[in-house]
Structure 1
């Protein structure tokens, strides 16, 4: 946040210290000094944000390609996606590593009492145990869907499988976002003849082909997309939980 010499605007320090609640003690008091004076804490935060942004770029690069001929070079596009996903993963792991270094080397519990970070650390055993149960729940419910499909397939009962032609698990929220983006130009820009990207759908099934290769077409979402995306998010969440646990244990 930006604050002028005349007191106009908001300062990040004052915003953080103003956030106090019945369960947070002193709130974020002193967090601004941690992030501005302790390099490992600042590096951890920056690595986490950059890693998350890199993963978003990896997904958007094929859904909304920035270059016209990138879409027809399938090998390059797949390599770029894999490249950015690996970079994002390494950056997030680096964020956890530097957060652990900060907790071990730089964090001083004697000078920080009853703020949010101190209260979280004092309740870390209860938090970790609850997170372990959450990870067990997510793991069983993600793999359980695949086990169910494999079992039904082995028993010759395709009508009882999770699929678009049997038991459907449609990504309704993602479909709503797609439809919102596809219909937005008609409401916000009546002169526009198409949405911002064909991937949103709503273009009458049109596709863009360059040199006989499909460059861009609508991406209809179904049960398989729900499976793949939700399980990928679950795995990433479990990794984040695990690294957070390790950081709290190090302290």
Structure 2
């Protein structure tokens, strides 16, 4: 039952490898290729691995690979979070990052200059960007759930796979409609040609006019 979390350590060595820097210990003795899902037969002690591929029986990603992936991303995001300035005086200001982002080839004109104030002063632009991000991610989830099945035996349950794919692509489609709608409202209602002179937004509109 679930009460084993109180009595069984996640790893036989506990937190000793973590505090001593011997992190490789967590990857030693992974589940074997002969491991039978749901049983201890062929199972190992590893909790963080980089095996790659799929479990031979369940045809899903190795659970220890997924654990490693999410832990690694968490560490990267915590470090990367210090790149941006918050209430504390460390990191870069978003405005400075955007203003400095000018293509060396000068093919993007003024680059991202003026974008910070444009985004800051338009709720429709903010909502459009958020919806576009979530819509794209949802579409990626649809594709990844069949290409890299995270759940045991999902790869051999074709009805479930097709349903999950269709479900997430439908959601992505609706969200992207919202993204384009609010993006269009921004250009009609909030876009300031003076504030965005020569930057990527202005150049996009010029391309549209040319077409």
How is 1:37-186 mapped onto 2 (pairs within 5 angstroms)? 37-126=121-210, 128=211
Call closer, same or farther: CA 1:101–1:4 in 2, change over 3 Å: closer
Match of 1:19 among 87, 90, 101: 101
Aligned residues of 2:114 and 2:195 also touching (Cα < 8 A): no
Query: Aligned-pair distance for 1:56?
Result: 1.1
Q: Distance in 1 between matches of 2:144 and 2:164?
A: 11
Q: Distance in 1 between matches of 2:195 and 2:120?
A: 17
Deviations 1:179-205 (A, max 9, x none): xxxxxxxxxxxxxxxxxxxxxxxxxxx
Query: Aligned-pair distance for 1:110?
Result: 4.1
Alignment correspondent of 2:112? 28
TM-score by length of 2: 0.53
Call closer, same or farther: CA 1:25–1:75 in 2, change over 3 Å: closer
Query: Aligned-pair distance for 1:75?
Result: 1.6
For structure 1, list consecutive stretches of 5 or more residues without a partner in the other structure: 129-251
Larger relative helix fraction: 1
| RMSD of aligned residue pairs (Cα, Å) | 2.2
Deviations 1:41-66 (A, max 9, x none): 11111111111111111111122222
Q: Distance in 1 between matches of 2:88 and 2:170?
A: 45
